[in-house]
């Protein structure tokens, strides 16, 4: 953040097909949630509606370019609302007494174990007692850049048996921790208290490759 000259006072606008993951990362590491915004729609739509485009060359920031000896003006906080596999295992072991709902954002075919995982060596299936809300259902026309209306998203969660405003903790999972953030952003859009929504960052990739 310091290398990009980003300050805590800056308003950040995130766009792109993985925007929900970036938005979630920024907010969970302590950037003021009121100053992080997720643009709905693609850069194609932006261009079609007359938005200006910059095509000048800009070199990407590489890890090798970073100097950790320099003074860091940006001070991120320890990441909040992220749970480990240990916590998820405890939820599974407690069953209905856990006070927690686990939602999986993977496509239904993978959640049910009817389709192979895209990564070699990863078992098929789902975390016990988890509920499937495929992330693509929440998108408008499967664009991966624009959410459906709040009415439509509410109906999707309700159809899955999930009360968005429940006092229970909600843990969002997926294949590798990316589309889990789509769930958390959607829940935030629907007015859910963000402090009670968590990301299982290891997600199915970690769970299904664990030796135990």
pLDDT at 100: 98
Q: What is the mean pLDDT of each run of 10 residues along the chain (212 residues)?
A: 91 95 96 96 93 92 84 89 97 95 98 95 96 96 89 98 97 97 98 97 96 86
Helix 180-189 vs helix 19-28: angle between axes, to the nearest 10 degrees?
70
pLDDT given at position 19? 94
Quote the Cα angle for 195-10-44, to 5°. 90
What pLDDT shows up at residue 58? Answer: 85
Tell me how far apart the terminal alpha carbons of the chain are, to the nearest angstrom: 37
**192 phi, psi to nearest 5 deg:** -70, 145
Domain 82-209 has CATH 3.40.50.970: no
How much is the pLDDT for 143? 81
Contact assessment for residue 105 and residue 174, using Cβ atoms and an 8 Å cutoff: yes
In sequence order, what are the beta bridge partners of 16? none
Whether residue 175 contacts residue 204, with contact meaning beta carbons closer than 8 Å, is answered with: yes
Q: Which long-range contacts (CB under 8 A, 24 or more apart) does 58-62 make?
A: 61/3, 61/4
- 3-class secondary structure per residue, the chain: CCCCCCCCCCCEEECCCCHHHHHHHHHHCCCCHHHEEECCCCHHHHHHCCCCCCCCCCCCCCHHHCCCCCCCCCCCCCCCCEECHHHHHHHHHHHHHCCEEEEECCCHHHHCCCCCCCCCCCCCCCCCCCEECCHHHHEHHHCCCCECCHHHHHHHHHHCCCCCCCCCEEEEECCCCCCHHHHHHHHHHCCCCHHHEEEECCHHHHHHHCCC
- The structure's pTM equals 0.93
Q: Say how far apart CA 143 and CA 171 lie, in whole Å.
A: 24
pLDDT the model gives residue 201: 96
* Annotated domain spans of the chain: 82-209
């Amino acid at each position: 953040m310091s290398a990009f000259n980003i300050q805590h006072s800056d308003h950040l606008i995130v766009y792109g097909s993985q925007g929900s993951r970036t938005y979630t990362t920024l907010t969970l590491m302590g950037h003021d949630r009121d100053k992080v915004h997720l643009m709905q729609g693609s850069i194609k739509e932006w261009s079609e509606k007359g938005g200006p485009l910059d095509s000048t060359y800009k070199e990407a920031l590489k890890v090798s370019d970073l100097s950790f000896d320099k003074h860091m003006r940006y001070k991120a906080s320890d990441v909040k609302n992220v749970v480990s596999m240990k916590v998820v295992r405890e939820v599974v072991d407690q069953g209905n007494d856990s006070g927690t709902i686990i939602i999986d954002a993977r496509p239904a075919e993978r959640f049910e174990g009817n389709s192979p995982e895209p990564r070699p060596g990863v078992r098929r299936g789902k975390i016990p007692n988890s509920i499937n809300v495929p992330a693509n259902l929440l998108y408008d026309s499967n664009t991966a850049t624009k959410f459906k209306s709040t009415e439509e998203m509410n109906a999707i969660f309700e159809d899955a048996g999930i009360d968005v405003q429940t006092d229970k903790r909600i843990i969002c999972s997926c294949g590798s921790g990316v589309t889990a953030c789509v769930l958390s952003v959607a829940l935030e859009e629907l007015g859910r208290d963000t402090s009670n929504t968590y990301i299982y960052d290891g997600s199915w990739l970690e769970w299904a490759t664990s030796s135990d």
